[in-house]
């Protein structure tokens, strides 16, 4: 699925082709929550890294988190003017790009279920909206973005 996205101030716009365009996966880890999730979580999509086209790339900045004292190779790109979180990539999986659903302007499909991950890291003040048919995981879910989309016949 062809996706267009942008930061809030418009200094950065981008497009990419997503194989996993359904915003079903909510991550409550502190990195997602603090960099892209005031409501408690961020939603990652799956796209092909080589399809990414960026306008205003000079306005990008990058954040790599420290996890358990170790620097993470994952690169979180955001607009240095307005702070909008845009996407995550990782040199260990150079073919993958994970845009945040919050940065996407193209209407996204409505997910048939929500998978809540990293709930062990969720502070008590966040009332996770867990509905019938949802999945909950303290850590990582069983299925990758690609496998979940494949199982639901929703590969984009
Ligand atoms: Zn911006
Ligand atoms: Zn996370």
pLDDT digits (tens, 9 = 90+) for 50-87: 999 999 999 999 999 998 899 999 999 999 999 999 99
- Check if CATH label 2.30.42.10 holds for domain 2-151: no
d(CA 26, CA 17): 21
Ligand positioned closest to the Cα atom of 78: 1
Q: Per-residue confidence at 39, pLDDT binned at 50, 70, 90?
A: confident
Q: How far is the CA of 56 from the centre of ligand 1 (A)?
A: 9
Ligand positioned closest to the Cα atom of 139: 2
d(CA 72, CA 131): 32
pLDDT at residue number 38? 79
Are 45 and 18 contacting, i.e. CB atoms less than 8 angstroms apart? yes
Mean pLDDT value across the chain: 96
Are 103 and 11 contacting, i.e. CB atoms less than 8 angstroms apart? no
Ligand positioned closest to the Cα atom of 61: 1
Model's pTM, two decimal places? 0.94
d(CA 75, CA 60): 11
For residues 132-139, give the mean pLDDT: 97
Neighbours of ion ligand 1 (CB under 5 A): 7, 9, 11, 79, 81-82
Coil, helix or strand at residue 13: strand
Strand partners, 66: 71
Are 97 and 48 contacting, i.e. CB atoms less than 8 angstroms apart? yes
d(CA 129, CA 19): 26
Q: How far is the CA of 104 from the centre of ligand 1 (A)?
A: 13
pLDDT at residue number 37? 84
Burial of 150 (0-12, 13-18, 19+ CB in 10 A): middle
Ligand positioned closest to the Cα atom of 100: 2
Per residue in 85-126, pLDDT (tens digit) is 999 999 999 999 999 999 999 999 999 999 999 999 999 999
Ligand positioned closest to the Cα atom of 12: 1
Q: How far is the CA of 28 from the centre of ligand 2 (A)?
A: 6
């Amino acid at each position: 699925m062809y996706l267009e996205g942008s930061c809030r101030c418009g200094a950065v716009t981008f497009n990419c082709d997503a194989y996993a365009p359904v915003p079903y996966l909510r991550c409550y880890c502190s990195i997602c929550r603090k960099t892209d999730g005031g409501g408690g979580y961020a939603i990652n999509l799956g796209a092909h890294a080589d399809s990414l086209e960026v306008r205003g790339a000079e306005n990008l900045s990058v954040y790599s988190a420290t996890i358990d004292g170790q620097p993470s190779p994952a690169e979180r790109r955001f607009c240095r003017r307005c702070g909008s979180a845009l996407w995550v990539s990782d040199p260990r999986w150079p073919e993958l790009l994970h845009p945040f659903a919050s940065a996407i302007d193209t209407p996204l499909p409505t997910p048939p279920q929500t998978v809540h991950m990293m709930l062990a890291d969720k502070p008590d003040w966040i009332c996770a909206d867990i509905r019938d048919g949802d999945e909950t995981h303290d850590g990582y879910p069983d299925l990758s973005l690609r496998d979940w989309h494949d199982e639901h016949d929703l590969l984009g």
